[in-house]
Amino acid sequence: MEQISQRLVNWASILDPATREQAERTASMPFIAPHLALMPDAHLGKGATVGSVIPTVGAIIPAAVGVDIGCGMHAVRMALTAADVRRRGGLSKLRALIEHRIPLSAGHHNKQVRSDETRERITELENTDGADSADSIAPNWRLQLGSLGSGNHFVEVSVDEQDRVWLFLHSGSRGVGNKLATRHIRIAQQQCANRKITLPDRDLAYLVEGEPEFDAYIRDLRWAQHFALLNRREMMHRVVESVHDWYGEPVAELDAVQCHHNYTAREQHYGQHVWLSRKGAIDAHEGVPGLIPGSMGTRSYVVVGKGNKQALHSSPHGAGREYSRSAARKRFTRADLEAAMHGIEWRRTDAFLDEIPAAYKPIDQVMHDAADLVEVRHVLRQIVNVKGD
């Protein structure tokens, strides 16, 4: 751990100057208390650094949560082994089944409500405070439920160190969450402008606790977080169905882990109640299970938190980018991507070049940096990868 300043501590051994400077700007905000914690996967973000844990008193920075509110992971261990997979074969068929059931890529969604179970999830969201806001800004959100998106979102089939099969997916609150977040970021910017507040970055604009705009953000944020959680459950249900079809018979679901990594929660740290925004970080209170995916083609981890006080009971949420998407496309080739994905069933396309593992920090280094934050329970290696382009 590196103490950068009185209000900024860092667990990232790989940290470029621009990311450090961005974190220092965020940590300088007057309502940060006790300090901002940078996770091992920290990299440049919009306003606030991705991979940062930001405690605030009396205010929240909407951009410090991000536009993909509630983004996170869901993993389920199946009653299958690597030997079962080898006997069954046909992983390309399994990938195709998953891709058929789950709408992929930005802007893609379901054409209709898929099933009674999907309808139950929609009804739950309709009865959750904040649904009116969602209806006003993205009336098709019901058809977004059960869709993946693009970028670093994925569905994977993996095998752990005991050759047991896991289903693993990463996604968030889709277009509806993005639109809700963008609305509140603009409201925060307008409020700061009206008050003639000078900000080190306009994306650090904040809402003040006790005011109606703050309450409206918390309401919409909690709705979007719940949408993201149910979105992952809906997708996992469809992935399990795909496994059943591929395997030829039902397969039992065993262990399950789910966690957010873009959200705000009311927590107590250093004896003080704060709003804790985890932007690209997961809850790592002692004993809390979590998931840390690597990049496309690398290992992922099932972990449990160690409750590190200085890290504000948090840990990294993934590998963290070293190269921007445009820089990765200039530096790496399709041949590089093919080599990185050797032995994994995936949809071969240049569209994923900016997701090549080399565009990210080495996951081994990230996990080494996180040794004081989490304990590794299982190490997963991919055998099937599904992504949207």
Catalytic annotation, residues: 317
Nearest one of 201, 214, 230, 199 to 21, comparing CA atoms: 201
Q: Which secondary-structure segment (H or E) carries 95?
A: helix 91-101
DSSP string, 352-383: GGGG-GGGB--HHHHHHHTTTTEEEEEEEEEE
Residue 296 to residue 155: CA distance in whole angstroms:
10
For residues 342 and 65, give the distance between their C-alpha atoms in angstroms, rounded to a whole number: 35
**Spatial distance between the Cα atoms of 236 and 41, rounded to a whole number of angstroms:** 26
Facing residues of 379 across strands? Answer: 301
Tokens matching residue 189: 């910017």
Query: Closest Cα to residue 317, out of 352, 355, 279?
Result: 279
Q: What's the rounded Cα separation, in Å, for the pair 75 and 300? A: 11
